[in-house]
């Protein structure tokens, strides 16, 4: 791997940070209070070509490359993770449809996602199952030239927005992936979940009651749902790591700023060896996490499977982000326990990484089973 970033990658990195500081930072407090990411910000993300970074130019994307996409994700998360989730979900769904879909499906959905007119969703998790496809309860029954789908999907990010949902449903012992236009007849959603972190990205439960979908909305082939899911999730794990990097960098920067400003006996606490030790430890761990994430993204960009690598990376990087946020709180002392300082929000958001896209326990099971196979 060439550890020197290209000029294009550096430009994307800077442009995304500038976008986040200009367009997102001013509305962070509103989102922290429960407001969704404003529609006009999503429109600006689309105009900046951030929703189609993994899609071909033919369908309105930029085909920028996975590493640049991960770097942009990291910069968004430095400000707040809301834009990162919108960006990740839309890019992941567009990439999956482009990779596994028909020409008709690509024209109908990928272009709309890239242009910000459609919001994609990954509809897999259910109330009684997290990461086990064998426990899926949602059913898809073939009736003539339509699928009839019934079930409930939990924690469905952007599930109430118009656009394509990749719904994973069971037909006997087979798991299919079927494209469903959200908010069609029979589709309804709950009010958004109120999470500890993960603010600004409306995540709902979606209910499918006799939803009728054309047979041509099947993605890839019958019974290939789990195969599609694995490809999507391996990329989503790296995206989760990118969010953790953004939060980790923010924790470090906030800690350095506070340590320089906060005084003890007339001198900034940055002069204390204990504080210096924590800052040095934070910087070292962050750098290791960043290059592990970049390497995994690079391997995926080159066509690697990265099922094992993404699981190992997620274990290390998401835990590191949580530890950096914890050290940041410690440096801030009692002030870090208040909502007046950004480190409190970073601390809440950092925990998300160890849970979503498969918990750390699931990742360890994946790594161990693949190594022992």
Enzyme catalytic residues: 357
Determine phi and psi for 171, rounding to 5 degrees.
Answer: -125, 100
Task: Give Cβ neighbours of residue 29 (< 8 Å, ≥ 6 apart).
Answer: none
Strands of the chain, DSSP E = 121-123, 139-143, 146-157, 164-171, 174-181, 187-189, 203-214, 263-264, 267-268
Task: Give me the sign of the Cα torsion angle 302, 307, 308, 311.
Answer: positive
Q: Is 308 exposed, middle or buried (0-12, 13-18, 19+ CB in 10 A)?
A: middle
Three-state DSSP class for residue 361: helix
Q: Which residues of 131-145 are buried (b: 16+ CB within 10 A; e: fewer)?
A: beeeebebebeeeee
Q: What's CA 144's distance to the chain center, in Å? A: 37
Residue 74's CB is within 10 A of a number of other CB atoms, namely 26
Beta-bridge partners for 153: 206
Nearest to 240 by CA among 347, 120, 320, 160: 320
Three-state DSSP class for residue 82: helix
What percent of the chain is helix, strand and coil (3-state, nearest 5)?
A: 60, 15, 25
Question: What size, in residues, is the chain?
Answer: 373
């Amino acid at each position: 791997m060439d550890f020197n970033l290209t000029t294009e990658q550096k430009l994307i990195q800077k442009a995304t940070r500038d976008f986040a500081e200009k367009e997102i930072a001013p509305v962070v407090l509103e989102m922290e209070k429960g407001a969704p990411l404003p529609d006009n910000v999503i429109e600006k993300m689309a105009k900046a070509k951030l929703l189609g970074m993994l899609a071909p130019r033919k369908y309105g994307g930029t085909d920028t490359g996975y590493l640049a996409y991960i770097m942009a994700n990291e910069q968004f998360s430095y400000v707040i993770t809301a834009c990162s989730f919108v960006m990740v979900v839309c890019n992941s769904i567009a990439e999956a449809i482009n990779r596994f879909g028909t020409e008709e499906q690509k024209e109908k959905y990928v272009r709309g996602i890239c242009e910000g007119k459609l919001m994609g969703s990954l509809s897999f998790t259910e109330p009684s199952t997290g990461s086990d496809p064998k426990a899926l309860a949602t059913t898809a029954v073939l009736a003539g030239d339509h699928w009839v789908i019934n079930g409930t999907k939990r924690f469905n990010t952007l599930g109430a927005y118009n656009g394509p949902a990749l719904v994973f449903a069971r037909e006997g012992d087979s798991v299919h992936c079927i494209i469903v236009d959200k908010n069609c007849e029979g589709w309804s959603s709950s009010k958004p979940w109120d999470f500890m972190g993960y603010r600004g990205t409306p995540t709902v439960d979606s209910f499918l009651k006799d939803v009728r979908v054309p047979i041509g909305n099947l993605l890839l082939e019958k019974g290939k749902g789990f195969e599609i899911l694995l490809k999507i999730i391996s990329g989503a794990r790296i995206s989760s790591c990118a969010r953790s990097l953004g939060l980790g960098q923010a924790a470090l920067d906030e800690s350095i700023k506070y340590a320089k400003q906060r005084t003890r006996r007339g001198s900034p606490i940055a002069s204390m060896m204990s504080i210096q030790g924590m800052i040095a430890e934070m910087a070292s761990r962050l750098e290791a996490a960043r290059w592990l994430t970049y390497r995994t993204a690079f391997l995926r960009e080159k066509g690697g499977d990265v099922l094992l690598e993404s699981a190992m990376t997620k274990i290390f990087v998401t835990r590191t982000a949580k530890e950096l946020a914890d050290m940041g709180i410690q440096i801030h002392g009692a002030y870090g326990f208040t909502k007046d300082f950004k480190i409190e929000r970073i601390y809440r958001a950092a925990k998300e990484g160890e849970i979503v896209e498969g918990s750390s326990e699931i990742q360890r099971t994946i790594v161990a089973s693949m190594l022992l196979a």
